[in-house]
Structures are given as structure tokens and as C-alpha cells.
Structure 1
Amino acid sequence: MKNTNRRDMGWVLAACLLFFALPSCKDQKETKEPSPASSRPSGPRVTAVEGFIVQPSSLQEIINATGNLIAYEAVEIRPERSGKLVMLDFSEASFVKQGTLLGRIDTEALEAEKNMRQVELDLATKEVERGKELLAVQGISTEELDRLENRVEAIKAQQKVIDVQLEKSEIRAPFSGVLGLRTISQGAYITPNDIIVELEQINPIKLEFDVPERYLTQVRAGQELSFTIVGADDTFTAKVYAIGTGISPETRTFKVRATAQNSRNILKPGQFAKVTLVTGVNNEAMLIPTDAVIPVLDGKQVYVARNDRAIATFVQTEERQATEVQVTEGLQLGDTILVTGLMAISDGAPIQITNIIETSK
């Protein structure tokens, strides 16, 4: 009887274990069979972007440069002979006309010598007149009369030398212009090595600046330009009159000079100038949005859309405006470049262009 009860309890226990084991097996079978959705490969993510079609645009070809203003004419006023400066008559930083007497060196010794030579000339002239009378009566020879006449010519030559020295004693302005600050005082003994004052002609005034050699064929005499200076709100104009004949091997630039009117004397020699020179109009310029250009280690690049993928392309740029930049190499007219979503893509990434934007031409 006792064995029968134990056998019944065993069957009950086995039935309970089987009841709980069947759902577990079903769960294991369900987890081993993947769903159709989970078995499909995910693939790279497609990025939505906006594009821009490269088209020909009209662009002024502009050369931006920096330069300096220089005097149209400039000279250091020095005496032509040594002596005591007995007169100095000008105001510093004043305008003077050509030929204005600025100073004079002592001429007392020269005047005395000139007077002495005049006395000698008078005596020599009288001797010549008497010699002619004597020659008429054969009182002297022809050779003796020639000697007397040569003496007269020699004295006249000495007088001319004195006159030249007297002329050099006067210090005059060689051209009209503005005087600088004097460095000599009246009463000083000066020599031709001493600078009395500087004189500059600043109306018109010259502008000199350097231009990269690639623009050599685009710059011509007669072209007009504009420039600005520090401390003035005005924009000034000038005209190119001379172009340097050589290229600097260090900077690969050439020099250009222009002249500007300066009737108000606002422009001063030595001032720094920012120059803008328009050399022409390019009607086939490739202008793209500045946001499309990405600075990289080796230069600049843009993403070009090809076969629904972003292709990284290196470009060369030049003229830059507020919202556009000119591309000179790397792109072709008709290319579609990407302008948005650039941070989310890389070279070869799949893309979908959702919009084509336009920029002002």
C-alpha cells in the first residue's frame, strides 16, 4: 500500500515538470528563429543635403594690394659752396614757389675779389688800347699786342668764375613744394654736406605698390584705381603711369606707380595705402557659396555630387566676396556641389539632394 502511494506521487511530480518544461522549449524555438526584419542588412545612412549648380557668373577682376605714398618730387636743400650762412628766410612746413630765395652764404670775400678783378680789367683794357696805337707806329710787335689782349680775356674768365660763386651763394627752391623742418640756424658755417631743409612736391603725389607677377599682363599705364589711407574716411583715386620692368626674385612681385591729385594736402609721403585696382570683367567666372568650401590640411575642398554620392574635390580659390568665392581650379561649369550637411558626410558617402539653392549673380 505504501509502495502504491509512492508510485502515484512520482507520476504527479513528472507531470508537473513536463507542464513547466513545454513552454520553455517553445520560447527557445521562437528565439532561435529570427524575424524577417532583423535578417535584412541595415546599410549606410543616406544624408539629405542641399546643392548648388556651378554656372558662369560676371565678376570684376580686382587686384588688392598695399603700398605707400611718396612725394612726386623730393630734394634735400644743401649749399653749393662752403661759407657762413648770413641769411635764412623761410618758414618751416610752408609752401614755396620755384626759385624762392631761402638763404644766402657770406659773399664779402667774393665781392672784394670781383672788385679787384674789375680794376685789373680796366687797366688791361687801357693797355690794349695803347698797344694798338703803338702797333700802328710799329712801337710794339703783334705778339706783344696779343699778350695784352689775352690778359684781358683771362681777367674776364676770372670774373665769370667769381660770378658763378656768387650765384651759388644764393640758396633757392629748385621747384615748387612744401618745406620740411630746417636743421641749420642762421650764422652757422655750412658745407655742401650739410642739409638745410627738405623740399617735397606733394600735389600731385605718387603711390607705389607691389603686385603679384601673375597679374603682369593685366596692369597697364592709364588704368584708374582707388585707395584708402589710415585716419581718413575718403576714398581717393589715382592713375597708373609706370610699371616696373623686373620681377623681385624674393617676393615674386613687380612695382607699380600711380599719381593722385592732392590739392587739399590730405595725403602725406610715407602714408600706408590700401589699393584696389579693377583690371577687367570675367563673364565666365565660377562663383560658389563660401559655405561650400572646407579648409583642410592640404588646401581647400568641396563636395561634388556624383551618382548620389559626395565626392571630395580639391579646389583653388581667388576672389572672395561676402557670400561667394571664385574657384579657378578643381570644378567645371555644370557641377553640382553640396552646401549643407557637410559635417555629416565624408568622401563617397551616399546623399540625397533635397533642394537646389541659388546665390546672387
Structure 2
Amino acid sequence: MTAHSSTHTSAIEVVALTKRYGDGKPAVDNINLRIASGSYCCLLGPSGCGKSTTLRMIAGHESVTSGDVLLENRNITSLPAAERGTAMMFQSFALFPHLSALDNVAFSLKMKGVAKTERHEKAQHLLERVAMGHLLQRKPAELSGGQQQRVALARALITQPRALLLDEPLSALDPFLRIQMRAELRRWQKELGLTFIHVTHSQEEAMALADTMVVMNHGVIEQIGSPHDIYNRPVNEFVARFMGGHNVINTPTGKVGVRTDHIQVVGAGEQVPTGHTAKLATVTDVEYQGTYVLLGLQDPASVHSASSTAEASVMLSENQFSARPFAVGDVVQLAWSPEAAHALMP
């Protein structure tokens, strides 16, 4: 695990946080994490890595086996969800189908005994803030997915939380709307100045949104850092492969990661650039992606294995590929400079 420190105030801190179900391996295994106040943090990883369980423990929707959850230096580990100062925005939005957008947003204030006029005034203000002021009386079934998400966001914000927790909030949306809504989430987070903790399995989504990314696997944190740092310098093979855009290559001095766009492809009998490391490979796939061509490559010795798949990939610009096209079956040399490779921990 990579240590994370910040000069900013920590909005959320988890200390030795663990969750066990029965006698099996922990779903979350003794993790430590500080999330700076006013930042956008994404918990990222494959299904079953512990990211949603971590979020639910922070929210108070999941009991803690051991460890602590702190909000602005206040221990909230044993507090019920409603008393923590956090709010949760669920993947399904979880709107009441029989209530209007206005009453959905105002519902928690109604439960607290706030007068109708006051709670509706506050709910209307938030709906206007998320560009839903003109649809106050519509019920969820009469709203699009993006509009439902705006209502869900306003409903979460009406409790004036110190941190907003988002559990895969974009996964129910179509790809075009997902891109639009992540831009809006980022804008709202900056305008509100709130701490957002967002669970996702999408590397692209996390990189677009996060100030801090937390990559998890098997209940532990593999790496913490900015999107730029994690993409360019994954600490180990898991992070490199999970984030994509990297090749994990065994060399005589150990395992290294090299970005797919930092590798040159040279014909088998051609001269490799001076100072570059070279490795033979066979082209197994050629995919045209518009602005670039993606080559799948494999060790020539295993190219006829029935179970083998592409071991490496290289991204060539459309112009590069047009000037020097390669075809499936070609034996080539992969070449990279020392600066393009960085060592990976086991």
C-alpha cells in the first residue's frame, strides 16, 4: 500500500478499518485512508474488491468489525447513519415513485418535523440549483435518468452533509449521459465545496472526476494518488493492468510497466533506436480505433497456443500505422526508451 498524506484538513479518515462476514477472508482488510476536506475522492477497483463495503461503513449502512471512521476528527463509527453528517446517493437513486420531485427532496425534512412551507422552500432552492426547478411536480417515472439523478442529488444535499457518498451513481445511465453527468457532478462538487467520495469500477470515470484515486483489490488498498500519478506510475502489476494503457513486461532486471503509447514497433530486421530496449513479438490483432490503431502482440513462442491471448498492446497513431502498416502474423520488435519504463513491485 502506498502511504497518503495531505496538508489539508481530513474530512474523512478511516483507521485500521476491517469488515468480516463470518469466518471468511475480510471483505475490507485493515485499511487506512485520509480524504482531504473539499476534495473529490474515487474508490476504484474490480467487483468484490471492498470499495462499496468501505463506503457503506463510512455511511453507517454497514457495521464495522474493527477500526474507526472519523468525520472531521469526530469518531462516528458507532453513530447511526442519520447522525453522522454524511449523505448517501445510491446507484438506483431510490426515489419514492408516488412522490413528486419536490416531495422526494423534502422528505427527510418532513421526517424531522419541518413545516411544509419551509421544507418545500428549501427543496425548491436545491432543485433550482441542479436545473430541476421547472419539473418540481413531476414524479420519478416522468423524468429521464439524468433528471432522476439530479433529484437524488438534491435530496442528499438537503440534509446539509459534510461529505456526500456516491455508490456507482452513473452506472444506470447510458454512455452519452454518463459523460454529461460526470461533468455536472464535478461542477457541483466544486461549487458546493463538499467532500465527495465516489465508488466506481470505471477507470475513465475515476480519472475524469477525482482529485484522489484509491485503487482497491481483495479488500486492501493497492495505491493512492492523483489520476496522473496512478496512470503514469502504477506501483505494481495489478494497478498497471487494472488501469489499462500499460504493458507489463518481464526484463532481465525485473518486471516493468510501459505505456502502450510509449512503445515503438519496428520490423523484425530493422534497426532499433539507439539506447532502446527491444523484445520480439508477433502481431495477433489489429484494431482500428479512429484516431489510432491498437496492435495486440504476443511472444512468438506462444502464438500457436490455444489458450494464449494478447500479452501486450501498442497504440499507433493513424498516421504512423498508415506509413508503416502491420498485419496479423507479422513478427516485430517492441522498442522503448529507459525513461518510458518504470519498475513494478511484485
Larger radius of gyration: 1
Structure scoring higher RCO (CA < 8 A, sep ≥ 6) equals 1
> Structure 1-normalised TM-score?
0.22
Higher-strand-fraction structure = 1
> Structure 2-normalised TM-score?
0.23
